[in-house]
Structure 1
Amino acid sequence: MKEDAMKRIMLIVLCVCMFACYACEQKQITNLKIMSYNIRHGEGMDNVLDLSRAARVIKEQAPDLCGLQEVDNSCLRSNKLEQTDYLAKKTNMIGTFGKFMDFDGGEYGMATLSAKPIISTKRLQLPDGIAEPRSAIIHEVQIAKACTIVFVNVHFDWMESDEGVSSRLNQAKVLMQYLDTINKAVIITGDFNCSPASPTMKYFNEQGFEFINKGDDNLSFQGETKVELDHVIFRNTNDIKIKAISIDLLKEPIVSDHRPLVAELEVIY
């Protein structure tokens, strides 16, 4: 009897240990909505300056993280409005402006909006473009109680020449040098000013980034020449895996010369 009782105790202990190990290995999942929008400083395709239209689009989508490009800060052409603060208030999000250069009595650059707590912010200076300076906004963001990721907003050189191609690639390489010092899962979004087949996007793929395919409706720039310039890419770590659920370019033909890009992601940690 004693031997049988000991075996039963050992079996119970083994089951408890196995259950504990199983529980430790269980992953948690959180969904994340990413948005990227080149807002053209609030001037629509109808040549009307009305930033409230971009604010409406963003608020309707309610993203967790949003990268904005072509943002003014107190510029004369946009009525001296601090556009990042305006959009942050209208959408109930945290706003961060990243200056490229002094412009028109104020500053010109880009911005991020976040509905999640921001742990740290880095404005990384990138190699100057052919016509304009460039930088990236890099946030460490807490997307869940036990999960932080890095969210990057970019707006690479817009020149179409061979020099522009080289400039974008150099900007991507400087960004990667910094990101490689951070051992965290990374999401990059923004106006890359290049197609998925470009040297810049191929470089990101070589660095372990996954590209979210938009399908047939992929032309994000809706100016005179329609092209695919706006993207969401991500890179996993051993502990955090990101999966694409969906990606859409919204049909907003008036608000800006770029369509809003919205991606639904699943983060497993």
Structure 2
Amino acid sequence: MKLHHLSGFIALLSSVGLSAAPLNVATYNIHHGAGEDEVLDLQRITNVLNKLDVDLVGLQEVDIANGRTGFVSQGKYIAQQLQNAQNTPWKTLNAAAIEFENGEYGNAIIYKSDVLTLNDYKVVRLPDPDGDGQRSAGVATFTDKDGITFQFVASHLTHKNKTENGSTIQLTSLKMVEDNLDSKLPTIFVADFNASIRKEDNHNLDTMAYLIKNNWRIDSPLEGASIPDEPWIIDYVVSKNHDKLKVNSAQIVLDDLTKVASDHFPVKVNYLLEK
């Protein structure tokens, strides 16, 4: 191949995505480490995430140093185990929702700190539906090694959506999250939404309809099930201001380990972040 043809070929390859940075994201409701077999085993959760080869994870139903699970800060424990397994630094951001058994309970974000630099983090306190406990959202701003800055939100919405006066707690929660975002930054939002986009599921359909109406894109699968007990998908990865967030692949991860490790399946999206 002549030199000028070679240089043109390299330029063409760059233009179709070699300059894009990969980012593997997951959402996982870990049920405080208690599996479908009712065995509490955080190592299984760690093994699931290690096999997924992810960079950034939103965890739901996380015990944060409370009595139920021996005062272990579960997000921190999982991050440390991943660090040991991969020889890669991991960090934890807790998003406690409630006080529980002399500790806390809620959500967490874990991430590879050699891939992502944390710029800002805050915890948004969401409404407290009677009988279901207050909810929370962790809102982080990261910059990757190529200088791409984006927001990442991890949350778990209540299943007690409708109140006696007819208000919709999930929609109120989503609006509160949006009020705490930079409206111009690319944003990835992962959660157990306790809602489905599919009409056949008939499960809090107005929540996902709201997201789509307000320019959120559903990046994770729309077919299958994310929980073993119902044929529903209620765990999603969605994005906004997503021109630079290219979805390369997405999957609900079903295998022998994920079928027992928790009462939800992890959902993974591989992005290409473009400058």
TM range (shorter): 0.7 to 0.9
Q: Does 1:244 align with 2:216?
A: no
Q: After superposition, where does 1:1-269 map in structure 2 within 5 Å? A: 28-92=19-83, 93-115=90-112, 116-130=116-130, 131-159=132-160, 166-179=168-181, 181-197=182-198, 198-212=205-219, 214-217=221-224, 219-223=225-229, 225-236=230-241, 241-251=244-254, 252-269=258-275
- Structure 2 stretches lacking a partner, 5+ long: 1-10, 84-89, 199-204
Give yes or no for contact 1:59–1:90 (8 Å, CA) kept in 2.
no
Cα deviations by residue, 1:2-45 (Å, 9 ceiling, x for unpaired)? xxxxxxxxxxxxxxxxxxxx9xxx78411111111000000001
Q: 1:91, CA displacement in angstroms?
A: 1.2
Offset at 1:146?
Answer: 1.9
* Structure 1 unmatched runs, 5+: 1-21
Q: How many residues align?
A: 243
Write the deviation string for residues 60-87 of structure 1: whole angstroms up to 9, x where unpaired. Answer: 2121110000000122221221112101
Could you say what the CA RMSD is over the residues aligned between the two structures, in angstroms? 2.4
More off after superposition, 136-145 vs 123-132 = 123-132
Task: Verify the 8 A CA contact 1:43 1:50 in the aligned structure 2.
Answer: yes
Paired residues of 2:227 and 2:263 also in contact (CA < 8 A):
yes
CA contact (8 A) 1:159 1:165 kept: no
SS of the counterpart of 1:221?
Answer: coil
Q: 1:174 to 1:215 in 2, by over 3 A?
A: closer
Task: Indicate if the aligned counterparts of 1:165 and 1:199 stay in contact, CA closer than 8 A.
Answer: no
Is the alpha carbon distance of 1:183 and 1:160 closer, same or farther for their aligned partners in structure 2, counting shifts above 3 Å?
A: closer
C-alpha separation between the residues in 2 aligned to 1:203 and 1:209? Answer: 9
Q: CA deviation at 1:182?
A: 4.0
Q: Secondary structure at the match of 2:264?
A: coil
Q: TM-score, normalised by structure 1?
A: 0.83
Deviates more, 1:75-84 or 1:207-216: 207-216
Distance in 1, Cα, partners of 2:192 & 2:48: 17
Comparing 166-175 with 205-214, greater Cα deviation is found at 205-214
Larger Rg: 1
Q: Is the 8 A contact 2:220 2:251 kept in 1?
A: no
Equivalent pair of 2:252/2:265 in contact (CA under 8 Å): yes
Q: TM-score, normalised by structure 2?
A: 0.82
Q: Is the 8 A contact 1:222 1:253 kept in 2?
A: yes
**Shift of the alpha carbon at 1:215?**
4.5
Give the whole-Å Cα distance in 2 for the aligned partners of 1:127 and 1:77: 24
> Which aligned runs of 4 or more in structure 1 are off by greater than 3 angstroms?
160-165
- Give 3-state SS (helix, strand or coil) of 1:60's partner: helix
Distance 2:222 2:99 in 1: 38
Identify if the C-alpha distance between structure 1 residues 142 and 267 changes in structure 2 by more than 3 Å, giving closer, same or farther: same
